[in-house]
Amino acid sequence: MADKSNDPVAIWQNLIGEMEKGFNSFANQAMASPEFSKVVNQVGGVTAGAQKQLGDLMEKYLVSMNLPSRAQMVSMAERLQSIEGQLSEIKALLHQVHNNSSAPVGYAGAPKPPRTKRPPSADGEQK
Amino acid sequence: MNAPAGLDLASIPERIQSEVQRAIQRSIKGVEYISSSGPSLGSTPKDILAVRGTMNLYHYRPIADEIYRVPILIVMATTNRGYILDMVPGQSFIEFLLRRGYDVYMLDWTAPKPEEKSLRMEDYVLDFIPNCIRRVQQDSGEQDVTVIGYCFGGVLSLLYGSIFKDGPMKNLICFTTPIDFREMKLFQNFSDRRYFDVDRLVDSIGNVPPEMILSSFEMLRPASRAASQVQLWENIWNDEFVKSYRMFDRWATDTLPLAGEYFRQTVKDLMWDNKLYNDTMSVGGRVANIADIKVPILHAVAEHDHIVPYDAAKHLITKVGSSDKEEVMLKGGHVSLVAGANAIKRLWPKLDNWLAGRST
* DSSP H/E element including B330: strand B325-330
B51 found inside a domain: yes
Report the b/e string of B76-99 with b at 16+ CB within 10 A.
bbbbbbbbbbbbbeebbbbbbbbe
B212 found inside a domain: yes
Average pLDDT over residues B252-260: 87
B303 found inside a domain: yes
Over 80: is that where the pLDDT of B5 sits? no
Confidence of residue A1 (pLDDT cuts 50, 70, 90): very low
ipTM (interface pTM) = 0.71
Domain residue ranges in chain A? 68-109
A41-86 pLDDT tens trace: 777 777 777 777 777 788 888 888 888 887 778 778 777 877 776 7
Of A7, A40, A52, the CB nearest to B190: A40
Closest CA to A96 of A85, A83, A106: A106
Confidence of residue B102 (pLDDT cuts 50, 70, 90): very high
Domain range for B283: 46-356
Coil, strand or helix at B178 = coil
B1 found inside a domain: no
Q: Domain with B240 in it: what CATH number?
A: 3.40.50.1820
Confidence of residue A127 (pLDDT cuts 50, 70, 90): very low
* B92 alpha-carbon distance from chain centroid: 13
Provide the chain A residues 7-66 that lie in CB contact (below 8 A) with chain B: 7, 9, 13, 16-17, 19-20, 23-24, 27-28, 31-34, 36-38, 40-42, 44-45, 48-49, 51-52
Question: Measured between CA atoms, how close is B171 to chain A, in angstroms?
Answer: 16
Distance CA A57, CA B190 (A): 29
Which among A12-26, B127-141, B219-233 has the top mean pLDDT?
A: B127-141
Do residue A117 and residue B69 have CB atoms under 8 angstroms apart? yes
B31 found inside a domain: no
Domain count for chain B, please give it.
1
What pTM was computed for the model? 0.79
B314 found inside a domain: yes
Higher pLDDT, B133 or A96: B133
Question: Measured between CA atoms, how close is A83 to chain B, in angstroms?
Answer: 10
Question: Measured between CA atoms, how close is A108 to chain B, in angstroms?
Answer: 7
Least confident of A106-110, B69-73, B308-312, B314-318: A106-110
Distance CA B205, CA B208 (A): 7
